[in-house]
Amino acid sequence: MINLTFNKNTIWPVVMIPMVLLSLTSCKKHRNEPNVPVNPESAIAILSINKNSGPYKTVVEISGRGFSEDVSRDKVWFNGKEADIIAATANKLTVSVPLSAGIGKVSFAIDNGKPVAGPVFNYQYTMLVTTLAGNNRWDNTVLFNRPVNLVSDNFGNLMVTDFGNNMILKVDSTGRTTTFAGTTTAGFQDGPVQNATFSAPLGIAFHPDGSLYISESGNNSIRKIDTYGIVSTLSGKFGAPQSLPSAHCMAFDKDKNMYISQFIASTIYKVTPSGSVSYFAGSGTQGSSDGVGIAASFAYPHGLVFDKAGNLFVTDWYNNTIRKITPSAQVTTFAGSGAIGAANGKGRNASFNNPDGIAIDKNGNLYVADSVNNMIRMIDATGQVTTYAGTGAIGNKDGAPDKSSFSFPTGVTVDSKGMVYVADQGNKLIRKIGLQ
């Protein structure tokens, strides 16, 4: 028999070795257990995209993991602009590139969680016609009724005369539309914009000092909205402070003289800053004669715009022509044969059908709302006329300019970036044309 004798120095190592081994075994078993918590966001990833460049509405397939098959839970952005999701599986999203996305990363989130970023997408800008406003309103009032004219300010906003709603509407660069002045009830009340009323507002123009001038068909008047938002009457009924002719459209020259197209009288009036009124061009008898001042004749002149040289361009509505008036009041026919048509060409070889609103860009190109042709026409500085947008068919189709459609466009303006905006009266929409 063997006697084993342990003292206190030998017992401690013998006892501890099994305990350490047991502890190591226990730790190893814990690491192999499947129930360790995992951050759910770490399971979401964009691995690749099948296209890294393209224009608006390019269809892109995004491969990754952690996507929901319920598209209402998925969110995709191109450079911060949300995309429409066409289809979704756990590993693939099919999306449509949003408008004017620019250059930036594609990102994804689920259930409004933290977005994860993927590859960079290069947006390709192309000439497009899009719908900026008219399908909805943000101040819970009404949709557009008859948007007839519009003008752009220096802050990216549009001011629109809504003839049918007796209002002046404001549209920002995102399409957000609010009431700037007036109510749906026709009236003739001056004062702060929130209390003022109008009746069938028609023309609209900015004075060089930033005030807004509006012509009214219903009140046969010209109203002013100053930079403080106060509406006053310059001419019209009820003893107006100045005796001015009823106006269709207005424009201001560099010396702050106001020019008025008088639709019924077929004349162009000039109003000085002091309020002196004179005939600038037109005999008062309908006709199409060129000449100086009152020796010339018009037939229902509509839109007015100045170029940098001080020449005034007029859409001669019933004559189907564009007229040019020099600072010395020399009237010539700049474009249009006078016959109804939609022919492109230079000067009198082109044709129009009731040209209405007119605008000019910084390069001297004119844009005309060719109302009955349902087109936007462009005239360069040499008088060459082309079709800028619209097929001629009535419709509201967006897309490439030569595939787009309008319905009786009457107003047009150009912003500082060269973007063209159209009051598409028949469709009750505001349309946007340019590189988008």
Domain ranges of the chain: 45-123, 127-435
Answer yes or no: is pLDDT of 36 > 60.
no
The mean-pLDDT minimum among 148-152, 257-261, 275-279, 392-396 falls in 275-279
- Phi/psi for 159 (5° steps) reads -110, 130
The pLDDT value given to residue 17: 36
Residues 6+ apart with CB under 8 A from 340: 320, 351, 352, 353, 372
What six digits make up the tokens of 434?
């340019």
Total Cβ atoms within 10 A of residue 192: 12
Q: What pTM value is reported for the model?
A: 0.88
Q: What would the pLDDT profile of 349-389 be if each residue is shown by its tens digit? A: 999 999 999 999 999 999 999 999 999 999 999 999 999 99
Average pLDDT (274-280) is 91
C-beta separation of 242 from 235 below 8 A: yes
Give me the CATH topology for the region 45-123: Immunoglobulin-like (2.60.40)
Q: Is 70 exposed, middle or buried (0-12, 13-18, 19+ CB in 10 A)?
A: exposed
Residue 261's pLDDT band (cuts 50, 70, 90): very high
Asked if the domains 45-123 and 127-435 are classified in one and the same CATH topology, the answer is no
C-beta separation of 231 from 167 below 8 A: no
Answer yes or no: is pLDDT of 11 > 90.
no
Q: Is 120 exposed, middle or buried (0-12, 13-18, 19+ CB in 10 A)?
A: middle
What does the alpha-carbon distance between residue 276 and residue 293 come to, in Å, rounded to a whole number?
A: 17
Q: What letter would DSSP give residue 348?
A: G
Answer yes or no: is pLDDT of 275 > 70.
yes
C-beta separation of 405 from 390 below 8 A: yes
Tell me yes or no: is domain 127-435 CATH 1.10.620.20.
no
HSE (side-chain half, CA atoms, 13 Å) at 166: 15
C-beta separation of 83 from 96 below 8 A: yes
